[in-house]
Amino acid sequence: MAKTINVTLKGEKAVFSFKPIDRSALYGRRRRVAFDTEGSECSRASLLSDGSLLLQSGMTAQGYFLGDGTWIPQSELTAQTKDGKEASLLPSTVGVEVELKEISATEALSISFSNTYALEAEEISSKIKEALDLGKIFSFDFNVKDDYNLETGVLVANDAGIFALIGDKVAHQFCKLENIATVIDESTDNSTDDLDFEMF
């Protein structure tokens, strides 16, 4: 069964199938392949700085080493918040109805986007379609899989189609000077830096 993004807006519903848009989809891609002297394709591996272990692709996803060399398998690892408490696993929103919230362009630009999806409407109410055609922007909660970080999706449309931009909200911190520097108006300074050539 295809994965879908299901959204609602004041009782109106829309269901979208989605696929990621990346550079390879837009421009194609090339891959450089290394072969050994016998013509077999080489696989990538990393050698630890002390030369003790050779790590092949996928090994680092199975667990972690502590500073003393102790191996901790992935199944025993837990996520923690910044204050040291155990983080809650948030369920996937794929196939689950989530509420749309209309936002401004400024609010949309306050999100750091990491993924873009092209959407295909399997079902869409006329009111949601009309709102998107008018250029309105909507946000919604999004998790492509069970995760500890709930991302924000932005639903937009243009002449090329309907898209979901996925990312995290950026928290801006206002900074100001504690002490304002005094600026001297040099135009009122009567002193002169002209050289006295009689000195030479």
Mean pLDDT by groups of 10 residues along the chain of 200 residues = 88 94 74 88 84 76 74 79 84 94 93 93 95 96 91 95 93 73 67 58
- CA–CA gap between residue 62 and residue 75 (Å, rounded): 8
- CA–CA gap between residue 141 and residue 81 (Å, rounded): 20
- CA–CA gap between residue 5 and residue 18 (Å, rounded): 7
* Dmax (CA) of the chain: 94
pLDDT of residue 73: 82
- Tell me the backbone φ, ψ of residue 150, rounded to 5 degrees: -85, 120
pLDDT of residue 25: 63
Eight-class DSSP state of 84: S
Pairing of strands 63-65, 54-56: unpaired
Q: How many CB atoms lie within 10 A of CB 116?
A: 16
Strand partners, 119: 18, 162
pTM greater than 0.95 (yes/no) = no
> What sign does the dihedral 69-70-73-79 (CA atoms) show?
negative
- CA–CA gap between residue 101 and residue 36 (Å, rounded): 55
- CA–CA gap between residue 63 and residue 146 (Å, rounded): 19
pLDDT of residue 60: 67
196: CB partners within 8 A, 6+ apart: none
- CA–CA gap between residue 54 and residue 68 (Å, rounded): 18
- CA–CA gap between residue 62 and residue 77 (Å, rounded): 10
pLDDT of residue 1: 55
- CA–CA gap between residue 42 and residue 24 (Å, rounded): 23
pLDDT of residue 83: 84
